[in-house]
Amino acid sequence: MAFVSQLSASTVRHLSTTSVARAGQIHEMIVIGGGLMGAGIAQVGAQTGHKVTLVDLNQEVLDRSQARIQASIQRVAKKQFQGDPSAGETFVQSALANLQIATQPHAALATADLVVEAVVENLELKRKIFQEYDAIAPAKTIFASNTSSLPIGDIATATQRLDRFGGLHFFNPVPVMKLLEVIRIPETSDATFQAMLDWGQAMKKTTVKCQDTPGFIVNRILVPTMMEAVRMVERGDASTRDVDTAMKLGAGHPMGPFELADYVGLDTVKFILDGWHAKYPDQPLFKPSDMLNQLVDSGKFGIKSGEGFYKYEKK
């Protein structure tokens, strides 16, 4: 990418030590990828007082994300400051003042304490981005991926900062879901891991510690469950609608598995499943599904494209 060559000879100063941003000292963050997850992570960062730069390749994506973030912050303010609209307005304005959007990370990367990557679920793309960022980020900067399913270790080896690398896995919708999975690889230093846990708390999330195993905790259980539902419908044992109704009313889930798959994005679910199937071909829980493949092949990605297992009104 162009910015590496522009910057490698530039004034970005590499620190002489490899000490990470100290625990509780993550103030400036970059979120790479302004899609569903990146926008949510940037929003929560900004509304919890961090200085955030949201980076995407595409200015149109960024403009849409900014509008979505603004609407979501207003929703949060309405809920948190019921009966005190002026305090709510101050909250909205200070959160928005903490947020910048950019198609290039240069300026923000010179001082960032943390980079959280949330681009599409593709190993080569994530490695390429981190390799480029590694060449220009200061030594103190912690790198983390929000990957749903890829091994953090396979992404981290694109960089020279394995001790300052980890996973920070959020859940959709980020402003609402309270969990943050914090993942370490064997090389992650204790200081880095602690800084990530402390940052999770500063983001007002409940953190759980995870090893770098497929799907960490939640997705290792959730994705096979979703796929069991798809296989049940493929066999003709139940309808999509009935499975969703059953899991909501019989198991107390807020969404049925098909509603949730449409909400997550069927392209993302397919990326996850295909990656695991390639790595663990004998695991029946990770077997590809014709129904899912056909939907994705025909551009039906769920809510974001207007149709998946169900149809949605375009926003």
Ligand X SMILES: NC(=O)C1=CN([C@@H]2O[C@H](COP(=O)(O)OP(=O)(O)OC[C@H]3O[C@@H](n4cnc5c(N)ncnc54)[C@H](O)[C@@H]3O)[C@@H](O)[C@H]2O)C=CC1
Ligand Y SMILES: CC(=O)CC(=O)SCCNC(=O)CCNC(=O)[C@H](O)C(C)(C)COP(=O)(O)OP(=O)(O)OC[C@H]1O[C@@H](n2cnc3c(N)ncnc32)[C@H](O)[C@@H]1OP(=O)(O)O
Question: Which residue is closest to ligand X by CB?
Answer: 35
The residue from 4, 15, 57, 97 that contacts ligand X (CB under 6 A) is: 57
**Residues 180-219 contacting ligand Y, CB under 6 A:** 219
Q: Take residue 81 and report the two structure tokens written for it.
A: 């400051």
Closer residue to ligand X (CB): 38 or 257? 38
Q: Kindly provide the residue ranges of all beta strands, DSSP E only, lying in 13-98, ordered along the sequence.
A: 28-32, 51-55
Q: What is the CA radius of gyration of the chain?
A: 20
Q: Determine, following the binding rule CB under 6 A, whether residue 69 of this chain makes contact with ligand Y.
A: no
Work out how close the CB of 187 gets to ligand X at its nearest, in angstroms, rounded to a whole number: 21
By a kind-dependent CB cut-off of 5 to 8 A, residue 97 interacts, out of ligand X, ligand Y, none, with none
The answer to whether the annotation marks 38 as part of a ligand binding site is yes
Q: What track of x and - describes contact with ligand X for positions 122 through 141 (by CB under 6 A)? A: ---x---x------------
CB of 254 to ligand Y, least distance (A): 4
Label residues 244-255 b or e (16+ Cβ within 10 Å = b). bebbeeeeeeee
Between 63 and 190, whose beta carbon lies closer to ligand Y?
63
Q: Does 121 bind ligand X (CB under 6 A)?
A: yes
Q: Which among 255, 259, 222, 224 has a CA at the least distance from the CA of 240?
A: 259
Q: Does residue 37 bind ligand X (CB under 6 A)?
A: yes
The residues assigned a catalytic role are: 148, 169, 181, 219
- Does 301 participate in binding ligand Y (rule CB under 6 A)? no
The reply, when asked if residue 37 is annotated as ligand binding, is yes
Stretch of 143-151, 183-191, 209-217, 285-293 contacting ligand X, by CB under 6 A: 143-151
Please state, in angstroms and rounded to a whole number, the distance separating the CA atoms of residues 142 and 194: 11
Q: Which does 173 bind (CB under 5 to 8 A by kind): ligand Y, ligand X, none?
A: ligand Y
List the single partner that 34 binds among ligand Y, ligand X, none, CB under 5 to 8 Å by kind: ligand X
The whole-angstrom separation of Cα 158 and Cα 131 is 5
Question: Of these, 200, 256, 265, 275, which contacts ligand X (CB under 6 A)?
Answer: 265
CA 103-106-109 angle, to 5 degrees, is 115
Asked whether position 173 contacts ligand Y by CB under 6 A, the answer is yes
Its sign, for the CA torsion 109, 115, 118, 123, is positive
Q: Does 308 bind ligand X (CB under 6 A)?
A: no
User: Exposed (0-12), middle (13-18) or buried (19+): which is 291, by Cβ within 10 Å?
Assistant: middle
Residues in the chain: 315
Judged by beta carbon distances under 5 to 8 A according to partner kind, the member of ligand X, ligand Y, none in contact with residue 193 is none
Distance CA 162, CA 313 (A): 44
CB of 56 to ligand Y, least distance (A): 18
> Distance between CA 241 and CA 191 in Å, rounded?
48
Q: In which order are the strands placed within the sheet that holds 142-145?
A: 99-102, 51-55, 28-32, 114-117, 142-145, 165-169, 179-184, 206-210
The answer on whether 298 is annotated among ligand-binding residues is no
How crowded is residue 13: how many other Cβ atoms within 10 Å of its Cβ?
10
120 binds ligand Y (CB under 6 A): no
Per DSSP, 20 falls in state P
Binding positions for ligand Y, rule: CB under 6 A: 72, 75-76, 79, 148, 171-173, 175-177, 219, 222, 254-255, 260, 264
Binding positions for ligand X, rule: CB under 6 A: 32-38, 55-58, 61, 118-121, 125, 129, 146-148, 170-172, 264-265, 268
Residue ranges of the annotated binding site for CoA are 72, 79, 148
